Structure formats: structure tokens, C-alpha cells
Amino acid sequence: MPSEFYKWLARKRYQYEVTTSLYMLTPTEKFIFNSVLFLLLSLTTIAAFLYLPDHIVTIARRAFYYYAGDENSTVTSVKSIAEPAVETLRTSGQHARQVLGME
């Protein structure tokens, strides 16, 4: 079983090198290319995780505004959902402090 997995990994590495023409480069050039590729993919992934949720919320708000024409209704609907959730968290936090003897 491990030898099959090793063969599969070796085949994937070979496919990667042939597809990107890395097999023609020296080991140093391969390292530089792979480092730059890893850096760019990492930065793109981090940016997507950090900024994409906020961007989606902004797009949804604009779409709702274009659809309904009223920005305040979204704020009030979100507020009506958020207030009970915040109150629940606040009371559970107070309960946890009482249980731990911090109050």
C-alpha cells in the first residue's frame, strides 16, 4: 500500500514538472519558481479568507438595495436578528463567570 501511494505521488510530481516545464530547469531555478508560486498561492488564499466574506456581504447589500430600494430595511432586519443573539451571549457569559466564581 505505501509503495502504491509513493508511486502515485511520484507520478503527480512528474506530471507537475512536465506540465510546467520544470524538468528543463536546474534545481536552483526549480526552487525559485516553486517558492514564488507557493508565495503567490498563499497570499491569494489568505486574501480570499480575509476579504472575501466582507466583499460578499457588501455585494449582497447592494443587490438587496437595487432590488428593494431601501437600505434601512436590511439594517433593521439584521439588527432584529443580532440583538437577541448578543443578549444570549451576554447572559451565557455572565452565567459562565458565576459558575467559575469570577463574580
**Number of domains within the chain:** 1
pLDDT at position 68 is 78
pLDDT at position 39 is 98
pTM over 0.85: no
In a domain, 78, yes or no: no
Residue with cell 457588501: 58
Query: Chain-centre distance of CA 35, in angstroms?
Result: 21
In a domain, 100, yes or no: no
Query: Chain-centre distance of CA 44, in angstroms?
Result: 10
**What is the C-alpha separation between 82 and 84, in angstroms, rounded?**
6
DSSP string, 71-84: HHHHHHHHHHHHHH
Q: What are phi and psi of 41, to 5 degrees?
A: -65, -40
Are 33 and 22 spatial neighbours (Cβ–Cβ below 8 Å)? yes
In a domain, 15, yes or no: yes
Q: Encode the chain (103 residues) as per-residue pLDDT tens digits.
A: 789 999 999 999 999 999 989 989 999 999 999 999 999 999 999 999 999 888 888 888 888 888 877 766 555 666 677 677 777 767 776 666 666 676 6
- Show the domain range for 2: 1-51
**What is the C-alpha separation between 84 and 79, in angstroms, rounded?**
9
* Element at 100 (helix H, strand E): helix 71-100
In a domain, 13, yes or no: yes
In a domain, 7, yes or no: yes
